[in-house]
Amino acid sequence: MTSSSRALARSYATFNAARSNRSPTAIVMLNMGGPATVEGTGPFLKNLFSDGDLIPLPFQSFLAPWIARRRTPKIEQQYRDIGGGSPILRYTQKQGQGMVSLLDELHPETAPHKFYVAFRYTHPLTEETAREMRKDGIKRAVAFTQYPQYSCSTTGSSLNELYRKGNAGEMGDVEWSVIDRWGTHHGFVEAVSQRVRSALNKFPPENRSEAVILFSAHSLPMSVVNRGDPYVLEVSASVSAVMEHLGHSNPYRLVWQSQVGPAAWMGPQTSDALKGLARLGKNKVVLVPIAFTSDHIETLYELDLEYGKEAEELGLDVVRAESLNDSPVFIRALADIVSQHLRDYRSGEIGPTSTQMGLRCPGCINATCDVQKKWFAS
């Protein structure tokens, strides 16, 4: 070995030793989660209906457990029908592991990186993640929403919970920054486009261009939309970006699923859109989960089983575009998003939070949103 080679080897050894002696940079992956087993359905629903950021209810501490108990048997059966539980934790862990492995190469200045999962309504809950981070001695963390498009009821709720735990000192002294939306990132758009192309390729070439692409996203109550929540706008931007990437090869629409209760929700509902297409004689459809990055009950039960049965009865030929799950293109996109964020934050080009995150909905009356935004921004 030459003297220059020995010097280079020593420098790498010194660098790696320094990396191993400092606490990891935490990438906290925020999502609602889903029960991994049928038995976890009841506690999941109780936590969901107890979340005032998501579903404000009068007498919430009494009503939430009652509603959860009433809905549990039906939802338990749905989880049995998709194999006995939600795979969202398994896929999030795969995505996280792949992401941090790439991050150590893409941004070695902040290595080693460690991902943490913070689910809102099931294990691992935010409080469990907080304890793990404190145990690991985390000093620097990125709150990384796994909802590509921002809504106060999803990303906002997760950030509110993270703020409550962090402000209470449950994680120790941590320097935070936030990735709060990324629905038009080129890597995400490419990953979704690949899934759409694969679905379209299941139709014969001679009439493939006639297939209607239905982008389906979880709906919102109109009361949330009307207070100024940006979700509908951001989902629309994702759809536009994907169709631009696909060269506008097919006709398409954005539709909405998972409406609950009698109140007005954003429409048209996916089920109604399928009925309408059948009436119009459009019998080839690609269903695309544009706001979900991993399979869970809304894709595996609602899209595949419920809407699949409706489509068969309507005489429609429906192909569901695969969820992103463990797509290498998507995992690379996650790493690229975080790497760019870390780079820009380190150079001072961006602050802890985005400009858009700092703006509350014009109709917001949730005081926690105000203090949460100020806490992360500071």
pLDDT digits over 307-353, tens only?
999 999 999 999 999 999 999 999 999 999 999 999 999 999 999 99
Q: How far apart are CA 307 and CA 178, in angstroms?
A: 36
Average pLDDT rounded to a whole number, residues 67-83: 97
Average pLDDT rounded to a whole number, residues 147-165: 97
Chain centroid offset of residue 47 CA: 18
Q: How far apart are CA 257 and CA 308, in angstroms?
A: 13
Residue 162 binned pLDDT confidence (cut-offs 50, 70, 90):
very high
pLDDT of 16 > 90? The answer is no
Active site residues: 185, 336
pLDDT of 286 > 60? The answer is yes
Q: Which two tokens stand for residue 215?
A: 């982008």
**For 192-215, how does the pLDDT look when each residue is reduced to its tens digit (9 = 90+)?**
999 999 999 999 999 999 999 999
Percent of the chain, pLDDT > 90? 91
| Neighbour-count burial for 188-219, b at 16+ CB within 10 Å, e otherwise | bbbbbbbbbeebbeebeeeeeeebbbbbbbbb
At 57 the pLDDT is 86
DSSP 268: -
Return mean pLDDT, the chain.
94
Q: What's the burial of 139, exposed, middle or buried (CB within 10 Å: 0-12/13-18/19+)?
A: middle
Q: How far apart are CA 267 and CA 269, in angstroms?
A: 5
Residue 10 binned pLDDT confidence (cut-offs 50, 70, 90):
very low
Q: How far apart are CA 195 and CA 178, in angstroms?
A: 28
Residues ≥6 apart with Cβ < 8 Å to 135: none
C-beta neighbour count of 303 within 10 angstroms: 24
At 154 the pLDDT is 97
Average pLDDT rounded to a whole number, residues 343-372: 96
β-strands 113-119, 175-179: how paired? unpaired
Q: Cis peptide before 65, with omega less than 30 degrees from 0? A: no
Q: How far apart are CA 150 and CA 127, in angstroms?
A: 22
Residue 55 binned pLDDT confidence (cut-offs 50, 70, 90):
confident
Cα–Cα nearest to 71, from 260, 285, 201: 260
DSSP 305: I
Domains and CATH numbers, the chain: 3-183+328-377 (3.40.50.1400), 186-320 (3.40.50.1400)
Residue 15 binned pLDDT confidence (cut-offs 50, 70, 90):
very low
Cα–Cα nearest to 133, from 29, 271, 3: 29
Residue 262 binned pLDDT confidence (cut-offs 50, 70, 90):
confident
Q: What's the Cα-to-Cα distance from 309 to each of 19, 191, 234, 282, 316, rounded to whole Å?
A: 53, 27, 30, 17, 10
At 11 the pLDDT is 39
**For 91-149, how does the pLDDT look when each residue is reduced to its tens digit (9 = 90+)?**
999 999 999 999 999 999 999 999 999 999 999 999 999 999 999 999 999 999 999 99
How much is the pTM? 0.93
Q: What's the Cα-to-Cα distance from 322 to each of 10, 157, 294, 296, rounded to whole Å?
A: 47, 27, 9, 12
Residues ≥6 apart with Cβ < 8 Å to 171: 130, 133, 134, 138, 141, 165
The dihedrals phi and psi of 310, each to the nearest 5 degrees, come to -60, -45
Q: Is 300 helix (H, G, I), strand (E, B) or coil?
A: helix
Name residue 28's beta-bridge partners. Answer: 116, 143
**For 236-246, how does the pLDDT look when each residue is reduced to its tens digit (9 = 90+)?**
999 999 999 99
Residue 20 binned pLDDT confidence (cut-offs 50, 70, 90):
low
Biggest CA–CA distance in the chain, Å, is 78
Cα–Cα nearest to 82, from 302, 323, 313: 302
Q: How far apart are CA 122 and CA 115, in angstroms?
A: 17
Average pLDDT rounded to a whole number, residues 74-86: 98
At 6 the pLDDT is 47
